[in-house]
Chain A
Amino acid sequence: MIQKDSNVSALQRVENELKKCVKCGACRAHCPAFAAWQREPAVARGKVAVAQHILKGDVGLDDQTYAIMSKCLLCGSCVEKCPNDVPTDEIVVTAREVLARRRGLTTFHKAVGQVIKNRRLMSFGALAAAILGPLFFRKVPQTSGLRLRFPLPFVGNRRHIPQIARKPFMDRHPEVIQGEPGKPRVVFYVGCMTNFVYTEVGEAALALFRHLGCTVIIPKGQGCCGLPGMSGGDLDTVRGLAEQNLAALEKYEADYVMTACATCGGALHKFYPALIGKRHPELATRIRAIADKTVDAAQLLQQLGLHPEETGVGERLKITYHDPCHLRTRNITRQPRELLKGSPGVELAEMEGADKCCGLGGTFNVYHYDASLKINEGKSAAIEKTGADAVVTGCPGCMMQLSDGLKQRGNRTRVMHTLEVLARALGK
Chain B
Amino acid sequence: MIDSRIIQELKLIVGTDNVATDRQDLLCYGYDATQMEFLPDAVVHPGSPEEIAAILKLANAERFPVFPRGAGSGFTGGALPKGGGIVLVVTRLNRILRIDTENLVAEVEPGVVTEQFQQEVEKLGLFYPPDPASLKFSTLGGNVAENAGGPRCVKYGVTRDFVMGLEVVLPTGEIIRTGGETYKGVVGYDLTRLLCGSEGTLGIITKIIFKLLPLPEAKKTMLTIFDSIDGAAKAVSTIIGNKIIPTTLEFMDHATLQCVEKRFNLGIPAEGRAVLLIEVDGDRDLIEKQAARIQDLIRPLGLVECKIARDAAESEALWKVRRLVSPSLRDVNPDKFNEDIVVPRSKVPDVIRAIDRIRQKYDIPIVNFGHAGDGNIHVNVMVDKSVAGQEEKAHQAIGEIFQAALDLNGTMSGEHGVGLAKQPYIHLELKPAQVAAMQAVKKALDPNDILNPGKMFPRED
Contacts and interface: CB of A to CB of B under 8 A. Distances in A.
Contact of B29 (A22, A38, A40): A40
A84 B327 contact: yes
B31 A23 contact: yes
A46 B33 CA distance: 13
A67 to B, nearest CB: 9
B458 to A, nearest CB: 24
B258 interface: no
Contact of A25 (B23, B24, B33, B334): B33
B134 interface: yes
Given A25-B71, A29-B136, A83-B326, A68 B24 contact: yes
A19 B335 CA distance: 11
A29 B132 CA distance: 14
A22 B24 contact: no
Nearest to B70: A25
A64 interface: yes
A284 interface: no
Nearest to A60: B23
B43 to A, nearest CB: 8
A22 B136 contact: no
B70 to A, nearest CB: 10
Given A25-B72, A25-B134, A64 B327 contact: no
B461 interface: no
B27 A59 contact: yes
B230 interface: no
B330 interface: yes
A88 to B, nearest CB: 14
A39 B327 CA distance: 26
A22 B327 contact: no
A65 interface: yes
A41 B25 contact: yes
A235 B92 CA distance: 38
Given A22-B35, A25-B33, A64 B136 contact: no
A contact face: mostly helix, strand, loop, or mixed = helix
A22 B138 CA distance: 15
A23 B32 contact: yes
Contact of B137 (A25, A59, A65, A85): A25
Contacts of B330: 20, 84
A251 interface: no
B448 to A, nearest CB: 28
A346 interface: no
Contacts of A36: none
A99 to B, nearest CB: 13
A28 B137 contact: yes
B137 A29 contact: yes
B363 to A, nearest CB: 24
Interface residues of A, number: 27
B73 interface: yes
Interface string A48-87: 0110010000110000110010000000000000011100
A103 to B, nearest CB: 16
B73 A64 contact: no
Contacts of B45: 39
Contacts of A41: 24-25, 28
A98 to B, nearest CB: 15
Interface in B108-149: 113, 115, 134, 136-138
Contact of A49 (B28, B71, B73, B136): B28
Given A25-B73, A29-B136, A83-B326, A46 B28 contact: yes
B342 to A, nearest CB: 22
Contacts of B138: 25
B3 interface: no
Contacts of B115: 29
Interface residues of B, number: 28
A248 interface: no
A265 to B, nearest CB: 26
A38 B71 contact: no
A38 B32 CA distance: 16
Contact of A64 (B22, B34, B134, B334): B22
A355 to B, nearest CB: 14
A331 B72 CA distance: 30
B376 interface: no
Nearest to A38: B91
Q: B25, B35, B73, B137: which has the most chain A beta carbons within 10 Å? A: B137
A23 B33 contact: yes
Interface string A118-158: 00000000000000000000000000000000000000000
Contacts of B326: 83
A80 B134 CA distance: 17
A306 interface: no
A274 interface: no
Interface in B146-163: none
A111 interface: no
Contacts of B334: 19
Contacts of A20: 330
Interface string B34-53: 11000000000100000000
Contact of B24 (A23, A28, A45, A59): A59
A105 interface: no
A24 B24 contact: no
Given A23-B33, A84-B327, A50 B24 contact: yes
Contacts of A28: 71, 73, 137
Contact of A50 (B28, B34, B327): B28
Nearest to A85: B327
Interface in B92-116: 92, 113, 115
Contacts of B28: 39-41, 45-46, 49-50
A40 B28 CA distance: 6
A227 to B, nearest CB: 26
A325 B27 CA distance: 29
A24 B73 contact: yes
A165 interface: no
A254 interface: no
Contact of B327 (A19, A40, A58, A83): A83
Q: B72, B91, B327: which has the most chain A beta carbons within 10 Å? A: B72
A207 to B, nearest CB: 35
A176 interface: no
A39 B330 CA distance: 28
A26 interface: yes
B73 to A, nearest CB: 4
Interface in A245-294: none
Contacts of B32: 23, 25
Contacts of A49: 27-28, 31
Q: A25, A39, A65: which has the most chain B beta carbons within 10 Å? A: A25
Interface string A284-314: 0000000000000000000000000000000
Listed from nearest, the 4 A-B pairs whose CB atoms lie closest are A29-B136, A28-B137, A40-B28, A25-B73
21 contacts: A22-B35, A23-B72, A24-B33, A25-B72, A25-B134, A26-B134, A29-B113, A29-B115, A40-B25, A40-B28, A41-B24, A41-B25, A46-B28, A50-B27, A59-B23, A59-B24, A59-B27, A64-B25, A68-B24, A83-B326, A84-B327
Given A39-B45, A58-B23, 13 more contacts: A22-B33, A23-B32, A24-B134, A25-B72, A25-B73, A26-B134, A26-B136, A28-B71, A29-B115, A29-B136, A49-B27, A49-B31, A65-B24
Interface of A: 19-20, 22-29, 38-41, 45-46, 49-50, 53, 58-59, 64-65, 68, 83-85
Interface of B: 22-25, 27-29, 31-35, 45, 71-73, 91-92, 113, 115, 134, 136-138, 326-327, 330, 334
